[in-house]
Amino acid sequence: MSLNIGLDLGSTAIKMVINHNGELKWHKKVPTAPGQEKIAKDLIEVALEEYGLAEGDIKDVAATGYGKGLVSFAGVRVDEISANARGIFALSNGDCRTIINIGGQDLKVINLEENGQISNFKMNDKCAAGTGRFFELAARILDTPIGEFGRLSQSTDETVELNSTCVVFAESEIVSLIAKGTPKEAIIRGLHYSVARRIGNLMGRNASGRGIYLDGGPAQNAGLLEALEDELLMEIKVLPQPQFTVAFGATLAA
């Protein structure tokens, strides 16, 4: 039995997966908080219990993400970009050529060769606009759970034009739209299109027309996916567990 644990210690969420004979079999996430070693150890206990295993069954623990250096028991440490590339290439059965990864604090575009090797990489980590944090901030101002954003944005045809490219200005723009009585569905839809334009700018001409995958936590947002497909005029795919592709990729290096 080949069984590895993958741990993605991200800026917002700590994600864990079990790779059992090459398949993503179990996953769980908890919010990122101080004391990551203890949080990760506790998650392993939960994994063993829920998946019905003993500690000796684990071949290795592979860590990736911002906090990968904070867990002493990890046998392997992998950078996030390699882990993302390996994970999504394997889970897409070699179909992926471009990854759009939206994390809590950054936005990455990774291009892959036919064999899964990374050919190009771009990151926007200087500004929170377009990242998971941006959505979290908007969720707070709009008093709406992030998990509702997709449904709400797809329930309207009205799209508010949001012009601010900076989170601080976007915040006041959203507040004034609410004050004017703009429906929150239209604001959320506008947010998705503004993030989609940002992603389009970051991608430039680097995307091939096929095998484009969106991953990271915000990939669960169907409204964002729709806006991205509209902006890029390309089909964009999302795997069943888009927030866990990086953790799974770490196990492939173990």
Where on the chain is the footprint of ligand ADP (CB under 6 A)?
A: 10-13, 65, 103-105, 132-133, 135-136, 146-147, 216-218, 220-221, 243
Closer to ligand ADP by CB, 136 or 229: give it: 136
Closer to ligand ADP by CB, 87 or 104: give it: 104
Q: Alpha helix (H) ranges present in 119-183?
A: 132-142, 149-154, 167-179
Report how far residue 23's alpha carbon sits from residue 3's, in angstroms, rounded to the nearest whole number: 9
Q: What stretch of H or E contains 24?
A: strand 23-31
Closer to ligand ADP by CB, 53 or 195: give it: 195
Closer to ligand ADP by CB, 92 or 101: give it: 101
CB of 96 to ligand ADP, least distance (A): 16
Tell me the torsion sign for CA atoms 202, 204, 205, 208: positive
CB of 191 to ligand ADP, least distance (A): 11
CB of 7 to ligand ADP, least distance (A): 11
CB of 146 to ligand ADP, least distance (A): 5
Helix (H/G/I), strand (E/B), else coil: 58 = coil
Q: Is 15 exposed, middle or buried (0-12, 13-18, 19+ CB in 10 A)?
A: buried
Give Cβ neighbours of residue 229 (< 8 Å, ≥ 6 apart). 235, 236
In order of 17, 53, 110, the CA distances from 26 in angstroms are 5, 12, 26
CB of 105 to ligand ADP, least distance (A): 6
Closer to ligand ADP by CB, 89 or 149: give it: 149
Q: Strand order in 13-20's β-sheet?
A: 23-31, 13-20, 3-9, 60-64, 76-77
Q: Nearest-CB residue to ligand ADP?
A: 217
Closer to ligand ADP by CB, 58 or 139: give it: 139
CB of 57 to ligand ADP, least distance (A): 27
